[in-house]
């Protein structure tokens, strides 16, 4: 059963945030001036339980969702996350994946794999410790993220690496990152810095356009475009002409892909957002904790999706950056 929104877009992907907490304070995502000691994070009882997430996941799958990405905050901070992975991996025809900063992977890679995780994405913004620690703002060294990537690869988990590129912060890291992950055989994806939330003080001038990133790599390591793996794939793919692997670019600012967007997002407290740049979520936790049947839950999700009109990135302008939006750490990256 496939449900379509007002623009004819099916529902295929669900991102589930399992916590709004993170052990990093990346300046472009959770700057410590905002997410400091006094910040009120969600309390445990406010978070969806694994059983509630599983029940919701099954309702989404009934509407055509084929892939669930666990995210946050830092998802590996959520205790016993493996239990959730196990529950989701048991759902037929569902691809379960995870996005992490990699810091806890050395301890967790094997149990995640054993629980049925299919693959994962690790975020890393530079190979230069000075640049990386300035960005993560908790003095976390590059070497430990690389150790996490190696730990995941060693247990047989396919790893992709995500790098957010911000003008003046880490653009010089693009080529070293491309060289290293080409050599190690991991797909590296470059993400344009986006105006999510409000706390990062985003400016259009901070965005390094994907075309500029591709041109810089192509000048040293020639690239050629590759067709998408499936309609609606977020990253545009490029392969090294000499057969040395591929990279991707996620150009949500300079080449928005709202027309193909098949993603819904569930916050850690169970609010459903149909756009990363959404303002008001729909409270699904009230439903799962209330007295509704699985059928009614499914119907409500369908009703929300068919009314969906969001296409924020296509209408983005200098003015829309000021519109109210939720933070990425809350809604899940």
Give the separation between CA 120 and CA 99, rounded to whole angstroms. Answer: 6
- Least CB distance from residue 89 to ligand SAM, whole Å? 19
Q: Is 170 in the site for ligand SAM (CB under 6 A)?
A: no
Strand-strand pairing, 263-266 and 271-273: antiparallel
Applying CB under 6 A, which of residues 3, 105, 196, 288 lies at the interface with ligand SAM? 196
Interacting stretch for ligand SAM, rule CB under 6 A, among 96-104, 171-179, 215-223, 262-270? 96-104
Give the separation between CA 52 and CA 310, rounded to whole angstroms. Answer: 26
Q: Which of 226, 261, 258, 255 is nearest to 243 (CA)?
A: 226
Applying CB under 6 A, which of residues 5, 19, 27, 28 lies at the interface with ligand SAM? 28
Q: DSSP labels for 96-139?
A: EEEEE-STTHHHHHHHHHHHT--EEEEE---S-HHHHHHHHSS-
Output 100 or 126, the one with its CB closest to ligand SAM: 100
Q: Is 164 in the site for ligand SAM (CB under 6 A)?
A: yes
Q: Is 100 in the site for ligand SAM (CB under 6 A)?
A: yes
Interacting stretch for ligand SAM, rule CB under 6 A, among 141-149, 187-195, 205-213, 306-314? 187-195
Cβ(262)–Cβ(10) under 8 Å?
A: yes
Output 221 or 253, the one with its CB closest to ligand SAM: 253
Output 164 or 223, the one with its CB closest to ligand SAM: 164
Output 313 or 329, the one with its CB closest to ligand SAM: 329
Q: What angle do CA 95, 262, 152 make, to 5 degrees?
A: 30
Give the separation between CA 321 and CA 302, rounded to whole angstroms. Answer: 29
Residues in the site for ligand SAM, rule: CB under 6 A?
Answer: 22, 28-29, 71-72, 74, 99-101, 123, 162, 164, 191, 193-194, 196, 200, 328-329, 333
């Amino acid at each position: 059963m496939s449900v379509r929104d007002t623009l004819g877009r099916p529902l295929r992907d669900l991102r589930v945030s399992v916590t709004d907490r993170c052990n990093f304070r990346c300046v472009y995502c959770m700057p410590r001036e905002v997410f400091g000691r006094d910040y009120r994070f969600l309390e445990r009882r406010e978070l969806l339980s694994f059983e509630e997430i599983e029940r919701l996941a099954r309702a989404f799958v009934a509407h055509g969702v084929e892939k669930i990405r666990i995210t946050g905050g830092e998802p590996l901070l959520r205790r016993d996350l493996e239990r959730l992975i196990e529950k989701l991996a048991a759902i037929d025809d569902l691809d379960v994946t995870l996005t992490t900063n990699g810091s806890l992977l050395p301890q967790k890679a094997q149990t995640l794999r054993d629980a049925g995780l299919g693959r994962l994405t690790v975020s890393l913004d530079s190979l230069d410790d000075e640049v990386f620690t300035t960005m993560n703002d908790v003095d976390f060294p590059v070497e430990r993220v690389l150790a996490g990537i190696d730990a995941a690869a060693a247990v047989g988990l396919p790893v992709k690496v995500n790098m957010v590129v911000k003008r003046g912060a880490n653009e010089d890291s693009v080529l070293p990152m491309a060289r290293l992950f080409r050599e190690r055989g991991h797909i590296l994806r470059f993400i344009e810095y986006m105006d999510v939330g409000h706390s990062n003080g985003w400016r259009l001038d901070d965005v390094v356009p994907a075309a500029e990133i591709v041109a810089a790599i192509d000048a040293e390591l020639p690239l050629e475009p590759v067709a998408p793996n499936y309609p609606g794939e977020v990253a545009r793919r490029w392969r090294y002409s000499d057969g040395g692997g591929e990279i991707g670019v996620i150009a949500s600012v300079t080449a928005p892909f709202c027309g193909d967007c098949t993603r819904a997002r569930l916050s850690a407290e169970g609010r459903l957002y149909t756009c990363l740049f959404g303002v008001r979520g729909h409270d699904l936790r009230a439903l799962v904790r209330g007295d509704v049947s699985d059928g009614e839950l499914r119907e409500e999700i369908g009703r929300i999706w068919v009314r969906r009109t969001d296409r924020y990135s296509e209408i983005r302008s200098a003015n829309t950056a000021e519109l109210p939006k939720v933070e990425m750490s809350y809604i899940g990256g």
